[in-house]
Chains A and B, each alone.
Chain A
Amino acid sequence: MTLQRISWLFAALGLACVAVGAVGHWLLAWPPAAASGWAGAGAGYLAGGVVLRLLPRWWRQHCDDMYAQPAGRRYLRSLWPIMVGYTLALFASIMLIRRGIDSVPLRALVAVAPAFALVLLMRAALRYLREIDELQRRIETEAIGIASLLVSVLYFAAGLLQKAKVVEVDAATAMIWVFPLLCATYGIAKMLLTRRFQ
């Protein structure tokens, strides 16, 4: 599957989520939190589609090359159900937590449900890493290394600033942003490293 097709798929998913939110809000009288949750997920997918369209041409061609290979095809195939599962788990988890769950173990289980999907993502990513060729593996491992070090240093510095009462960041927000920051830094590092070998 080419990156162009993936961007269209993101757009379609985004519009579908926004439509579900709109139907829920105007026709089914859902509570505002439920409707806005769907709209938020839709906006996320739409933004993803736009970002994919704005990527440089050489990078899109590189990604198309990589996803045309057996390892890339297998990775993409396993990625879709995981991402859809993650979105649904996140939506359900937020809704149930907002509604309130008295039992602490059950609340904990519901709260971490979206993270289970990310464990599956990690398994798929590790399999992809083992199956790609040596240059790609070198680029991937370097990008993962750079992302881990940069995000660790950033959080260490932020922790020191918080301790010195220079900044005041909510702990839950800070922890939730670790994974997205790692993914974004890894993506940028991978682009730069790939460019070096072009």
Chain B
Amino acid sequence: MNNQVRALREERGWSQGELAERLAVSRQTIHAIETGKYDPSLPLAFKLARLFSMSIEQLFDPGE
């Protein structure tokens, strides 16, 4: 699934480690989400969307 996580993180000047810390997950999880290798669960997707003040639909694109 495509997403805007990397762009939004870089806009804010956060490293993967900093974002991981804000979400209480590992840096590897952030890397896997950003590269589209892992689709987060609904609770984690909501946490990400809230952190970036967006809706889940704006943050993630299922790319049908």
Residues in A lying within 8 Å of B, measured CB to CB: 62, 65-66, 69, 132-136, 194, 196-198
With A197-B37, A197-B38 in contact, is A136–B44 under 8 Å at CB?
Answer: no
A-B contact pairs, 22 of them (CB 8 A): A62-B28, A65-B26, A65-B28, A69-B26, A132-B26, A133-B24, A133-B26, A134-B25, A134-B29, A134-B40, A134-B41, A135-B25, A135-B28, A135-B29, A135-B32, A135-B38, A136-B29, A194-B28, A197-B28, A197-B31, A198-B28, A198-B31
Residues of B within 8 A of A62 (CB): 28
Q: Digitize B8-49: 1 where CB-to-A-CB distance is under 8 Å, 0 elsewhere.
A: 000000000000000011111101100001101100100000
Q: Helix, strand, loop or mixed for chain A's interface?
A: helix
Given A133, A196, A197, which contacts B25 in the complex, CB threshold below 8 Å?
A133
Bound-state CA distance A134–B32 (Å) is: 12
Bound-state CA distance A69–B24 (Å) is: 9
Residues of A within 8 A of B24 (CB): 133
Looking at the assembled complex, report how far the CB atom of B21 sits from the nearest CB atom of chain A, in whole angstroms.
9
For A62, the closest partner residue in chain B by CB is B28
- What 9 A-B pairs have minimum CB-CB distances, sorted nearest first? A133-B25, A197-B32, A135-B29, A197-B37, A133-B29, A134-B41, A135-B38, A133-B26, A65-B27
Looking at the assembled complex, report how far the CB atom of A57 sits from the nearest CB atom of chain B, in whole angstroms.
15
Residues of A within 8 A of B25 (CB): 133-135
For B40, the closest partner residue in chain A by CB is A134
For B25, the closest partner residue in chain A by CB is A133
Residues of B within 8 A of A196 (CB): 37
Residues of A within 8 A of B41 (CB): 134
Residues of A within 8 A of B31 (CB): 197-198
Residues of B within 8 A of A136 (CB): 26, 28-29
Interface centre among A62, A65, A194, A197 (most CB of B within 10 A): A197
Interface centre among A66, A135, A136, A194 (most CB of B within 10 A): A135
Bound-state CA distance A136–B27 (Å) is: 11
For A70, the closest partner residue in chain B by CB is B24
Residues of A within 8 A of B44 (CB): 134
Looking at the assembled complex, report how far the CB atom of A87 sits from the nearest CB atom of chain B, in whole angstroms.
30
Looking at the assembled complex, report how far the CB atom of A97 sits from the nearest CB atom of chain B, in whole angstroms.
43
